Amino acid sequence: MMKRVALITTGGTIASKHNEEGRLSSGAMSGEELKDLLELPNDIEIDIFSMVQKPSMHITFEDLDGIREKINELFENNLTDGVVVTHGTDSLEESAYFFDLTINNSRPIVVTGSQRSPEQLGSDAFINLRHAIYCASDDQLRKIGTVVVFNERIFAAQYVKKEHASNIQGFNAFGFGYLGIIDNDKIYLHQRPVINEKHLPRQEIIPKVEIVKCYLNCDDTLIKACIDKNVNGIILEGVGRGQVSPLMMPAIRDAINQGIHIVITTSSEEGAVYPTYDYIGSAYDLYQAGVILGKDYDSKKSSYQTAVNTSC
């Protein structure tokens, strides 16, 4: 039975061309151009939607919301077996997690990109896109949420991170590994997530959430700036079990008293925030002040979860 996959393109390196100076113009190619260049699989029916043509750091919440609506629309017609979204790698993990949080459907949603443009020697654009399309058409990937396919590996959106700035082995999931592999266009799924988060409803106005990285002798400058800008939420990227500099605590308490939601995460690649210690600036001190403990989420994933959660 022929499968049908929707290919939504948003720009990035995978859709880039060299300009006159020899540098890459990210997102220069439309989905149709990408299809003609990369010889997509001919045993799967592919519908192409060129929605955005941007570098990934130019993507906005409005762009993502439009893509979310398009994916829901495609699934409503019951003609689409799965969706592939091509995306620049710099913010790919964030967008994938946004879709994971906001789209409630059992059919596969696969996000992919490339570290090298289609015109570069040794480009990974073709193989990543080809593998993503096969994954989106495979029933094994149903009911596991949004995944990222990169360099023959399948990753859960919740934990995937860009691990290298330029190498074609660009993504990893520290501590959890990949869910499966693609070998000669065949999908081999070795594990499935056993904890499925609830899907969060999207609200009309996305709250303003800022990330503040914590480090030795860090003071309250950035916390005060967030208060002055009337943000709705702050993600603290603490250290270890979720500690911050004691110099930050007065401003943190002030922000909470003004109704700003604050979440503490850790900069460690593995392990969760936990109120182990009892001193000023510890996770326990933060919790006592009203800060939300961010489990093992990284700061960017926590930011997205906070931004789409209507409780904020």
Active-site residue numbers?
13
- How far apart CA 30 and CA 8 sit, in angstroms, is 10
Residues 6+ apart with CB under 8 A from 148: 92, 93, 96, 110, 111, 112, 154, 155, 156, 157, 160, 171
Length of the chain: 312
292-293 β-sheet, strand order: 209-213, 233-238, 261-266, 292-293
**Eight-class DSSP state of 140:** G
Residues 6+ apart with CB under 8 A from 250: 220
Question: Taking a C-beta distance cutoff of 8 angstroms, is the pair 296, 273 a contact?
Answer: yes
Residue listed under structure tokens 């439309």 = 30
Among 164, 24, 30, 193, smallest CA distance to 93 is for 164
Question: Taking a C-beta distance cutoff of 8 angstroms, is the pair 36, 43 a contact?
Answer: no
Among 91, 110, 93, smallest CA distance to 154 is for 110
